[in-house]
Structure 1
Amino acid sequence: MGKIFDALLPEHEDFIRKQRLFFVGSAPLSDEGHVNLSPKGHDVLRIISPTEIAYLDLTGSGNETSAHIAENGRITLMFCAFEGPPLILRGYGTGRVILPETTEWDDLIPQFELLPGARQIIYITMHKVQTSCGYAVPNFSYTSERETLKRWAVQKGEEGLEQYHRDRNSISLDGLPTPIGESLV
């Protein structure tokens, strides 16, 4: 089973800061609902404290994590070592969605580079951290970030992104409302 911690240790924080990719898992309460697993790249993650992590969420084709958090709060982050010594680290917790034009956004956004297509901040309070071996995770070498999403967002422009959020990010795959969708009403 791996080791369990109540919070991130300094060595966990160092490990997380070195990762170029992390994964976000969430699910609706319904047994019929879809479990969501999303990869996240770019320099969007910040460690706020040993029990708090936030990431700048960029526009995507869906907005499942946001809908799931609004419904039940549950979220899991996973980091894998693809280079160097093997390790997997998971952070289990509850999340909240922070939208632009709110006081919380204004307080947190200075910690991030505001990337094109930024739509919300996902703020996680972790109640459990688990590490495991990662022996079966293959080695990969990082070459670069893909710039496709940034170029797409710039090309869409502010009005185009707002329309995209309205059309594609307002409800989840399972019909759950997202905070973005509720803010656009």
Structure 2
Amino acid sequence: MAKQFPELHDAHSKFIEEQHMFFVGTAAPDGRVNISPKGMESLRVLGPGRIVWMNLTGSGNETAGHLLESNRMTLMWCSFTTRPMILRAYGTARTLHVGDAGWDEMADLFPSHRSARQIYDLTIDLVQTSCGYAVPFMEYQSDRDTMQKWVDSKSDDDIRAYWMERNQQTIDGKPTRLAK
């Protein structure tokens, strides 16, 4: 039932736009594989072969560490509503930090967020759809406001201190090179 495509078609982009969350998967050549859920208006399809997403502060920073060793990335969406489908975009990604060339242009694509750590720029080399028949129905209620409340309660210095304490290494002890 799976179908493969060299790039996103318009119907794929529409499907992505309809989803409230996505998952990112990365892995270094050794150590643990990371799969992380994302949301909060943090992803943009820039064309049939390119997706960018803004990574916000979190309890870990696995993607950044993994991409230093291997630039492979997979993004996945699944429908929890009436249309059963899973869509994966496979490719290679580069990391942009605040101050890097291109950061401002990419950051302007998203709502402003004080806790933006990185922007990932994925070049797609394969798109795959599959049925999603076993994915349960779930009803979207709203985005959580927990992250925004946390950010609002912190100064910029507090957020950076959190990054220095919690986001400098992967769970396997590899560096993330998070901008200071």
If the length of structure 2 is used for normalisation, what is the TM-score? 0.96
The offset of 1:6, in angstroms, is 0.5
Q: Equivalent residue for 1:70?
A: 68
The offset of 1:58, in angstroms, is 0.6
Q: What secondary structure is seen at the aligned counterpart in 2 of 1:136?
A: coil
Q: Equivalent residue for 1:165?
A: 163
Distance 1:142 1:76 in 2: 24
Q: Equivalent residue for 1:132?
A: 130
Q: Residues 2 and 130 of structure 1 are in contact (CA less than 8 Å); yes or no, is this contact kept in structure 2? A: yes
Q: What secondary structure is seen at the aligned counterpart in 1 of 2:36?
A: strand
Distance 1:179 1:128 in 2: 28
Distance 2:37 2:91 in 1: 18
Distance 2:102 2:167 in 1: 21
Question: Which residue, 80, 84, 89 being the options, matches 2:87?
Answer: 89
Distance 2:153 2:120 in 1: 25
The offset of 1:154, in angstroms, is 1.9
Q: What secondary structure is seen at the aligned counterpart in 1 of 2:162?
A: helix
One-letter code aligned to 2:155: G
- Aligned identity (percent) is 44
**Where do 5+ consecutive residues of structure 2 fail to align?**
none
Q: Equivalent residue for 1:105?
A: 103
Cα deviation, 1:66-104, whole Å, max 9, x if unaligned, reads: 111111101100000111210000011111111112221
Question: Is residue 2:8 matched to residue 1:11?
Answer: no
Distance 2:138 2:121 in 1: 28
Cα deviation, 1:124-160, whole Å, max 9, x if unaligned, reads: 1111000000000011111100010111112122001
Question: Which residue, 31, 37, 40 being the options, matches 1:39?
Answer: 37
Q: Equivalent residue for 1:154?
A: 152
Q: Equivalent residue for 1:142?
A: 140
What CA RMSD, in Å, does the superposition of the two structures yield over aligned residues?
Answer: 1.1
Distance 1:164 1:104 in 2: 25
Q: What secondary structure is seen at the aligned counterpart in 2 of 1:13?
A: helix
Q: What secondary structure is seen at the aligned counterpart in 2 of 1:178?
A: coil
Count of residues in correspondence between the two structures:
180
One-letter code aligned to 1:118: A
Identify, as 1 or 2, the structure richer in helix.
Answer: 1
